[in-house]
Every structure is written in C-alpha cells, then in structure tokens.
Amino acid sequence: MLNVDLTGKIALVTGATGQLGRVMAKTLAECGADVVIHYLKSDVKARELEAVVTAMGRSSLIVQGDITDAVSTLALSRAIFDRFGRVDIVVANAVSQIEWKSVLEQAPEDYVNQYDACVLQSVHLAKAFVPGMMENGWGRFIGINSECAMLLDPQASAYSIAKRAMDGLYRTLAKEIGEHQITVNQVAPGWTISDRDRENHTEQQETYERRVPLKRRGTDQEIANVVAFLASDLASFITGAYIPVAGGAVMPSI
C-alpha cells in the first residue's frame, strides 16, 4: 500500500489562507509535514488555519509578507529559518486578483502586477529556499499554475501570459537544480470548487462543465492531493512537469 508520507518535512505554503491554499496546508499536515502558513492580509484566517494544523499534532508557524518583494521575502525566510532551520517543500500558491479585461482595455500596470505575482514570487522564493535544499540534497518546489495558461481565453491576457511566463521559469529551474535531487513542478487547476462555492451554492457551472471531458468541476481537495503527491518521495522522478488538474479541459501535447 502506497502512502503519501511527509513526516519530518517542513512545508511552506504561500497564500495559505486562500481558497485553495488552506486545503493544501491542511493536506500537507495530514500527510505528516510541519507547515509554515504565509499570508498577506488575512491574519484571522491564518490563526484559524494554524489551530487546525496544530490540532493534528504538527508544528506550525505563521509568516506575513509580500512575497513579490525581495526584501519582504528575505525577512520572512529568516523567521522560518529561526524556527525550523530549513524548508523542504515550497508551494508557491499566492495570487493577486485583478479585474479581467480585453487587451485593449487592460491597464499596463495589471500586466506588471500579474507578472510579479506569478513569476517574481517564485524567483524570490527560489533564491530564499533553494540553496538550503541544495545543501540537504532534497527538495520540492511546487508552483500553482492554471489551465488558463493553455486556454488563453479572451479577457484573461494579463493572468494567462503571466502563468505562461511562470511555466518557463519552472522548466528552467528544474534543469538548473535537478542534480541536487530537487524537483520543480507545476499543478494547473481548472475552475475549482472551493468553500466559497459551497457557501454560495455555486458548485455547478453548466457552461464550463460541458467543455470538460469529465463533465464536472474539480474540488480543492483534488488539487491538494496532487500537491501532496508531488511533495512526496512517490514523485521523486518527476520534474519539470506542468500537470493540469482540470478534468481534461486542457491536455498538454507531446
């Protein structure tokens, strides 16, 4: 029987108080990892999540900061190292929300905003935590991408092209640090059911579901399951991958 066993590992989840991030953090804790909970604004939600993680018997640390900023990322990395001494698993999940508009209407600063959130976040995290992984000869660097990087839907240019740029960064990083037994992968959710949908009873979206081969939306837990798998030794020979968790809505070709 195969088990996703992360006992003894230290996992950092950015944007851990978000709709998907909180489920990722809980799932990693359920698999045995101690969890660093990063947030930008949601202090109350961070403390609620910390209580859940510690109730599982795991150690937890809350860190606040803007991980699109190098100085802020360095400061929170110091707090993590002071507490745990290392990070084994990085899950770059934090996002920045903008209103989607056409290319002709989208403000130039929105493109910068999305690039910072999708690309520079991971650059700063890599600089902060990959050197320690290299010293330890083990690490997992996981980015949350999106099906939008392949769909390239109208009105989504700022978000979609930032996610495509993120893909290039992750593939390059995978080649640069693979010799140290550090894997670098991306999980690409489709339009996912989260607690917000459950609260608002918006789980079903028929127009979207019709174009999904599995004819349904995925759930936050299904996304978190793939993250936990990639974080484990079960995925020790997978790197440089962009893995859609979208019911077949997008299918990377060979």
For the annotated catalytic residues, the residue numbers are 159
Nearest CA-CA partner of 248 in 225, 219, 215: 215
Is residue 25 within 8 Å of residue 54, measured between CB atoms? no
**8 Å CB contact between 70 and 48:** no
> In this structure, are residues 125 and 81 in contact, taking their beta carbons and an 8 Å threshold?
no
Structure tokens at 232: 């484990």
Distance from C-alpha of 198 to C-alpha of 167, rounded to nearest angstrom: 30
Q: Does residue 155 contact residue 102 with C-beta atoms inside 8 Å?
A: yes
